[in-house]
Amino acid sequence: MPHCQNCGFKWSWKDVMKLSLKSKRECQNCHKIQYISAKSNFWTTFLTSMAFLLPMNFLRTYYEISWPWIFLAIPIYIPLVSLLMPFFYKLSNTQKRFGKTVE
């Protein structure tokens, strides 16, 4: 689980899920606003999309699994990834978009 950049407080899974939905959240310990770091946001998005696309393309090509089966896998895959993503987040004191600080 991620830690606050100001005080080192370890966030709970529930708080990190709320943070991922709202993009900013106040630390319960020091009351400073925390954001998901830009690097962390990029890598979790990249890894979750690649972790789905690569195996599905492999299965589609070599085992000739039909598209309906692949589309049925999506409702299983998305909640599973959503449950695991908070473990990979890192927090930041500033919100950055495309390398620039956003206020």
- Which own/partner contact pairs does 99-103 have at CB distance under 8 Å and 24+ positions apart? 99/38
| Cα–Cα distance measured from residue 95 to residue 33, given in angstroms and rounded to the nearest whole number | 10
Q: pLDDT per residue over 47-100, tens digit each?
A: 888 878 888 888 888 888 787 887 888 888 888 888 888 888 899 888 877 666
**DSSP-assigned letter for residue 6:** T
Q: What is the pTM of this model?
A: 0.71
